[in-house]
Amino acid sequence: MDKGDYMEPLFANKCIYTKDVFRESLFGYNKRKKALTFIILAFLIIVILIQLLLYSVSSEIYLALFTIVLSALVFIVLPIIQANLSYKRSIELHHEPITALTTFYDDHFVSTAQPSNATITVKYNQVKRVIATKQLYLLVVRLQLFYIIDKNGFEKINMVEFEKFIKKKHLKRSFIFSLLENNMKLLLHNCGSSF
């Protein structure tokens, strides 16, 4: 065990993985893609209406309608099905909803899932993105791997204090990576000019 495990946690959060939590996390994770898709769909609907007003029905309208239906399935129906399956699978395995206890320290956080007692430690520099939804925070580590934090599940503090803390950690990480990126660009530029 490292010395960080002996420190007192700064924050503790308890999140029970219900169907609603699974749904909100999947919808929150896909929020950017969904927004872009809805913009494209709105454009397609406008094009369809203009084409209907100016011309007769053509094959492009059927293609646009197919795209609209397919997008609705992918961004609305599929996350609901995935959430229901994830919840059902967790109930079948553990006979109760999974409860995640996440404790936050100065340089890392530890997430423990009950009833399996699976524990994982993640350093803040591994967190790529922080997504806030209505009731949750999603700490995205990599593609399709994120930790769910319940905004109402904090012990002894409120979510505003946690939000300030996680923004500070995430901004520090972003600043460090942008500084490293700028130094690498400068180094590559200087090496390129000497040849």
pLDDT in tens, 35-87: 777 787 778 778 777 777 777 666 666 777 787 788 778 777 888 888 889 88
| Domain range summary for the chain, segments of one domain joined by + | 3-174
Q: Give 18's contacts (C-beta < 8 A, 6+ positions apart).
A: 87, 97
Q: What is the mean pLDDT of residues 130-140?
A: 88
φ/ψ of residue 181, rounded to 5: -65, -45
DSSP 8-class letter at 2: -
What confidence tier does 180 reach under pLDDT thresholds 50, 70, 90?
very low
Q: What is the mean pLDDT of residues 127-144?
A: 85
pTM passes above 0.75: no
What is the C-alpha to C-alpha distance for residues 147 and 135, in angstroms, rounded to an integer? Answer: 14
Instruction: Indicate if the pLDDT at residue 111 is higher than 90.
Output: yes
